[in-house]
Amino acid sequence: MSTNRSRLLRRPSLLVQFGLLSFVSLAAVGVALGNRLQNTARQRTLHEAVHSAELIATAGIQPLLQPDDLRQDFLPLADTTRATLDASLRASISANSIVRLKIWNLQHWIVYSDNPRLVGRWFAGEQALDDAFAGNTVSRVSNLTATEELEERSFGKLLSVYVPLRVDATGAFTSDSKGAVIGAFEIYLPYAPIAAAIAEDTRQMFIVLAIGLVVLYLILFRLVAGASRRLRRQARENEFLAMHDALTGLANRRLLESTVADLLSADGRAGTHVALALFDLDRFKEINDTLGHHSGDEVLVAVATRLTALEGVACVARVGGDEFVVVATDIADGHDALLLCDRIEVALEAPVGVEGIQVSVRASIGIAVSPNDGVDCSTLLQHADVAMYVAKRSGTSRRMYSAEFDHYSPERLGLAVELRDAMESGQVFMVYQPKLHIASCEVRGVEALVRWQHPERGLVPPNDFLPMIENTELIGPLTWHVLDLSLAQCAQWRSAGIDLAVAVNLSARTLGDLNLVENVRAALARHGLPPSALELELTESALLDDHNRANESLLQLRTMGVKLSVDDFGTGYASIGYLTTLPIDVLKIDQSFVFDLLNDSRAAAVVRCTIDLARQLGLTVVAEGVEDEATLAELLRLGCDHAQGYLIARPMKADLLAGWISRWYEATRTPEAAPAAQPVDPPIARTPHLQLVQSGASR
């Protein structure tokens, strides 16, 4: 009973509300228009009666009267005149259904009437008569209560019309409205035919109006009903798309987070665990590049179909290009979590047929399990992401999350969560370390280094958050934020006349971003900088993780005009064959070799060989970690192009760099005037170095 009552009390749908409101509105409009049209019809009918009276007065009376007949108080009309009027007006009275006819002079005497009993009588008359004497043609529906209307009461309701009679300057009758009024002509017409005509016109207009409004209502209702159906369908689709991936129909990140939150709440009460398995498809880009993105989409849909068929899983989601998440509950331990991986691998085991080709699909899976690996979806997803990339780097197909992978600590986990807000609030900022062209003693570029000024922890060292961010989804936003800050500062320097290039570090994960080239191009355009103003630094491991993908992106960047450098050269892979296949411009010798350049023959051999190799390949060499004059002198002797290190300058904020450069060049020109020390740049005796560089350059 209560359910039925609630249905009855339920608010009507928007379509029903529109139908009712539009019907009432159109009905109100119809009534208003009907009344307007009725008044218009009534006025038109009355106007026709007035027009008839004017024609009778002009054509039937004025030619038979003399103006003098109306200018005296009262003298009976001549018999011949009255007889002529009687004969002339009799036909008009009959033809126009005129009930009564009167001619008044200005003294209110009736000088002529078709009713002889009224002729020669004086009446005060009504306001309408005075209006006619004032020059206005007046009509009114008469109630026949006036004294002069006693003779007409037997006719019922009548329409009386008063027409002024005018004469011109010569004293002759005229229809000119400027003529002088000397009397008035009054006729009475039966009102019943007029009322019937008005009623008929009104009825027809109401019928036409009603039909038109009904048709309009039906058209509008149909249009609105159709639009309402489309809107409801679109709303359902939008609601679905807001929570699902458009391509595969799987849950998206939003629905995943909501589902995992509910599962964590329920399992927390039940004492069970939630496992979140994150994986992406190995070598998926090769499928896109070889067979096209349409084929790649077919693979993604096929994978989604197989994952949906898995039994005992709580949620399947697509959270990225080729990244999927499978969530399972009732996980007792790590063994159960690994069994989930087994099921995923079995589901992906069979090849996928695309364009007549059987494509093998493999995945790298990272797993995080509540509550040890996180108590919310974001943390679990982040930790699963870390485990997945550890699996990729180690060459295994699966890994469960462990804090030892990236040396996470509760404090660092908190930092990871805070970093996104830190970027938006300006806590993340850049410092810049100059790079010296050794032979010319010119500072031609700087390396941009990220720093984090935490409101509570103070300055957070890069090593405390960068290694952690490298393996998470935050590395992308952080990289683009750093690139934007660095290019914005570079543009400011150039507008101030300081022509510097800026080098920005690029992570391995960002190098694999499909939007890398477009993001770099857009950032340069946003700040009005040429591509030559930017240098991107990459590690050897980043270049070799996916050689083909790296080569494609780097070629596009190189073609654009962006310089590319290998950072920490010598510490990565033993093979250096990639230098001949990848579009590299710069080699940066790792500081561990530069530190021992003068004390370790093996380090010296690495530095010397690197410089010789770079010269043969047409590459520029930068030595990192230069901290003393002797090392700089040896680098100059070996033919190293650029030096970077504390001997030259420590990393400093942008507002200090301009002044530092000015003092540096002043010291270059005047050896005895060394640059003044800065808080971020401790005093270093540079004058001997400048002399050394100058003498070396002269040689």
In this predicted model, what pLDDT tens digit does every residue of 513-549 receive, in sequence order?
A: 788 899 999 999 999 999 999 999 987 766 765 556 6
Residue 312 and residue 330: Cα distance in Å, rounded?
9
Q: Hey, which bits of 415-562 come out as E strands?
A: 428-437, 442-454, 458-460, 501-505, 534-539
pLDDT of residue 316: 93
**Per-residue confidence at 696, pLDDT binned at 50, 70, 90?**
very low
Q: Are 260 and 384 in contact (CB under 8 A)?
A: no
pLDDT of residue 627: 92
**Structure tokens belonging to residue 128:** 């309408």
In this predicted model, what pLDDT tens digit does every residue of 94-119 receive, in sequence order?
A: 666 677 788 888 888 888 887 888 88
Class of domain 19-198: alpha beta
In this predicted model, what pLDDT tens digit does every residue of 603-633 receive, in sequence order?
A: 899 999 999 999 998 999 999 999 999 999 9
Question: Which amino acid, one-letter code, is at 150?
Answer: L
User: What is the greatest pairwise CA distance in the chain?
Assistant: 155
In this predicted model, what pLDDT tens digit does every residue of 17-41 receive, in sequence order?
A: 666 776 677 677 767 776 777 677 6
- Mean pLDDT calculated for residue range 271-284: 85
Is the CATH number 3.30.70.270 carried by domain 253-405?
yes
CATH 3.30.70.270 placement within the chain: 253-405
CA-CA distances (angstroms) from residue 546 to 290, 388, 511, 541, 614?
16, 16, 9, 9, 23
pLDDT of residue 631: 93
CATH 3.30.450.20 placement within the chain: 19-198
pLDDT of residue 87: 76
Q: Which CATH architecture has domain 412-657+669-698?
A: Alpha-Beta Barrel (3.20)
pLDDT of residue 160: 82
**Structure tokens belonging to residue 136:** 């206005």
pLDDT of residue 221: 73
In this predicted structure, the answer to whether residue 395 has a pLDDT above a threshold of 70 is no
| Type and span of the H or E element at 307 | helix 293-308
pLDDT of residue 685: 38
In this predicted structure, the answer to whether residue 371 has a pLDDT above a threshold of 90 is no
Nearest to 386 by CA among 363, 374, 402, 372: 402
CA angle 162, 167, 171 (to 5 degrees): 150
CATH 3.20.20.450 placement within the chain: 412-657+669-698
CA angle 78, 53, 161 (to 5 degrees): 95
pTM: 0.45
Q: Are 481 and 503 in contact (CB under 8 A)?
A: no
Burial of 184: CB neighbours in 10 Å, binned 0-12, 13-18, 19+:
buried
In this predicted structure, the answer to whether residue 447 has a pLDDT above a threshold of 70 is yes
Q: Which of 29-38, 312-321, 531-540, 589-598 has the lowest mean pLDDT?
A: 29-38
